[in-house]
Amino acid sequence: MLSRGAQVHGYEVWGKLGEGGMSEVWLAKHAVLNVPVVIKTLRRAIVESVGDAGAQRMFDEARLMARVTSGRVVRAVDAGTVDGTPYLVEEYVDGVDMAELDRARRGALGVGLPLWTVCRVMEETCQALHAAHQAGVIHRDVKPSNLFAAPETGIRLGDFGIAVARGEGPPVGISGTLRFMAPEQLRGEPADRASDAYSAGATAFDLRYGHPPFEDASTALDDSMAPAFPPPHGPGEAYFQEVVRGMLSKRKADRPQELCVAAAHFRNAYQALRPAEDPASLVALDRCHYRFQGCDITFRAGDIADEAADAIVTSARFDMSMRSGVGEAVRRRGGDQIEREAMSGGGRALGECVETAAGALKARWVLHAVSAWNQTSCVGRATLRAIAAADRLGLRTLAFPALGTGAARVSLETCANAMGSALRWRLQLGGSRLRAVSFVLGDEAKLATFRDVAVGALRGGVEVVRPADVGLPDDGRAVTAESATCLDPSSGAPPPDGGRPSP
């Protein structure tokens, strides 16, 4: 088992990010390049129970990931063993998975994702799957929680833990996630390209409508049961439904055999559904004051502890202490009770955001964003989660410092690009209650550097859109897009749904 500060063949471990039924997931960085990575290890109990078979499975996953040379797939960086435990090193994606984004949006705003966003996500997902298939790799576990969204780089398809090489022998048992598995997978038959097409279609359905097309194995296996699409909201959604309906056909032969074709259909739908491009969407009112998607964005030099806002964001340490930098300024002005409340839940993983009361500050809340460590940035993820917390709390105004640029020594440019990209992406989705965001830097020189990069990120390198469709009203059904991957080599029955999410 790894621990904080451990050295793994040139990588320095920060700490655990999460765990699933078979593996543990750790955040680390390259010791020389300071590039963040994810290290996936088999749980000790699994290593002891299955021995070399567990290591073989992990190394197979690494080799299959490494085969796929696409920017839409999470890259395998390294693999090996440490103290007898096999590990896989993967690219770190500085964002959140689509299941988390969808769940947070429905819970905070009561609406799902805009259809144009779903189509864009599915275009990039199908591109990733096409690249995998061209490399002879069948993913077998496509679902929203395995789609990682980074505002700076787009969608990455990850978790190849149960992937197989095309044409591999018959499966042992049934592997996958029940609500996203093709009928042939549920029957224990070999998966192929068409099986991934089905799972991608189920993912598209779930992201738009808040639940998968079939709720249980019996309806998924019943050839007479078709997915129940709601009435389409216009011709664009009718087109989307027709594409997804074909991907969800119970007959493999009726599904698209090449997912580049599905990607083209989703791209056509995105082009038709997205609101008209507006080059003036980012409006410069003066050098330090901008307006974007109905939100006023200001840049100023000063002490963030003096700000008046619904919430002040701090750049938090993983142990949540507030004895240096921005945290100390906020604690001194707002009172020690802010620190005590922040620390009451124990240490936090990088990328998390914790809210506390604001004490004597001119704010209602303090949002503690754990954003960086030793020149390693998780600023994009932390910013997205701070904005998600603001939506959940019904906040309209936020004040941000430059996250991670103090003791963690992330460069101002890296921070500004990550924060500007995250804010742009979140506002483009529409539905946010945010009406004013302030970025507060300690002096004019830092402000100038931060502002120039952040404004460039807000302008973006992709289409800037005005959100017309902000998502369907949530119907109150449980969102289960993060359902666990099941791997049961001993059973011929369909896998149970539920349990701990796979990493």
Active site residues: 141
Amino acid identity for residue 203 in this structure? T
- Cα separations (Å) of 30 from 12, 81, 335, 373, 412? 6, 17, 38, 12, 20
Q: Give the bridge partners for 36, in sequence order.
A: 29
Q: Which of 224, 239, 216, 266 is nearest to 72 (CA)?
A: 266
The conformational region for residue 381 under phi > 0 = left, psi -120 to 50 = alpha, else beta, is alpha
- Number of alpha helices (DSSP H) and beta strands (DSSP E) in the chain: 14, 23
125-128 long-range CB contacts below 8 Å, 24 or more apart?
Answer: 125/72, 125/155, 125/157, 125/200, 125/203, 126/200, 126/259, 126/260, 126/262, 126/263, 126/266, 127/70, 127/72, 127/259, 127/260, 127/263, 128/68, 128/70, 128/72, 128/73, 128/155, 128/156, 128/157
Residue with token string 């988390």: 100
- Do residues 439 and 400 touch, judged by C-beta distance below 8 A? yes
- Do residues 143 and 177 touch, judged by C-beta distance below 8 A? yes
Q: Which of 113, 129, 116, 115 is nearest to 72 (CA)?
A: 129
- Cα separations (Å) of 342 from 210, 285, 321, 347, 395? 33, 37, 8, 9, 19
CA distance 396 to 367: 14
Neighbours of 374 (CB within 10 A): 13
DSSP string, 332-357: HHH-HHHHHHHHTT----TT-EEEEE
CA distance 492 to 329: 59
The conformational region for residue 397 under phi > 0 = left, psi -120 to 50 = alpha, else beta, is beta
CA distance 350 to 278: 35
**Helix H or strand E segment including 389:** helix 379-393
